[in-house]
Amino acid sequence: MLKAIIFGAPGAGKGTYASRLQTKLGVDVISMGDIFRELVKEKSELSSKVKSYMEKGALVPDDVVVEVLKAHLAKISKGKGFILDGFPRTLEQAKKLDTITKIDVIMQLIVPDWIIIERLSTRRICKNCGTVYNVKFLKPKVEGVCDKCEGPLYQRSDDNPETIKNRLKVYQEQTSPLIAFYKEKKVPFIELETKTLDQPPDLMVEKLLAELKKRNLA
């Protein structure tokens, strides 16, 4: 049973690779962003707690984020693995996660900034299902329309070069302590490096699968 974290800067391909691994491995992909979006639609004590922070524009505290994650993990079928995408984001979250479950492997996506800036500035996302496209390298069959659900595609307001550079800086500051934390704990790392702008996602996923098989995790 795979218990993995996928790390990578915004635009590194975390969601793209995780969704393909989900299909091939039969694991659950846990994206905290998606979970929060679904949670606020519910009527529960936990959703009210999360909503109160989001409505103020405040960051949801680590203990609440972990509470949300625990509730989601409890819903996963017994014996089914998972890939965490977008969690942990802080050292405190990583320490709290360590008390909940053991992580088998970290998949770290290494992508140069210039590739990320080009990718994100040409990225489009489905408003309905969240599927990610790119107007240059991963086009939908019909321009502006999602292949999966026929929902409209849009460009995020923060997918512009200056904002992307700032997001990359924040990511590096946040993630460096996390990488050090897991390396100190001797958690195995799979480092997947992208060197070209048009690297096919399926090729990269096959490389990840090969590395997971070497470790008897796939």
Is 168 within 8 Å of 116 (Cβ atoms)?
yes
Q: Is it the case that residue 123 has pLDDT exceeding 90?
A: yes
Tell me yes or no: is domain 3-111+172-214 CATH 3.40.630.10: no
**Is 123 part of the annotated catalytic residue set?**
yes
DSSP 215: T
- From the list 14, 20, 96, 119, the catalytic residue is 14
Residues 6+ apart with CB under 8 A from 200: none
**Is 14 part of the annotated catalytic residue set?**
yes
Distance from C-alpha of 26 to C-alpha of 71, rounded to nearest angstrom: 20
- From the list 136, 139, 156, 185, the catalytic residue is 156
**Is 124 part of the annotated catalytic residue set?**
no
Sign of CA dihedral 30, 36, 41, 45: positive
**Is 185 part of the annotated catalytic residue set?**
no
- From the list 3, 49, 70, 167, the catalytic residue is 167
Please give the structure tokens belonging to residue 43: 């009527």
Residues 6+ apart with CB under 8 A from 93: 62, 65, 66, 87
pLDDT at 97: 94
Distance from C-alpha of 139 to C-alpha of 118, rounded to nearest angstrom: 15
pLDDT at 116: 94
Beta bridge partners of 138: 134
Is 107 within 8 Å of 117 (Cβ atoms)?
no
**Is 89 part of the annotated catalytic residue set?**
yes
- From the list 49, 70, 89, 207, the catalytic residue is 89
pLDDT in tens, 15-68: 889 999 999 999 999 988 788 878 878 888 888 888 888 777 777 888 888 888
pLDDT at 77: 86
pLDDT in tens, 133-181: 999 888 999 999 999 999 999 999 889 999 999 989 989 998 999 999 9
- From the list 20, 96, 119, 123, the catalytic residue is 123
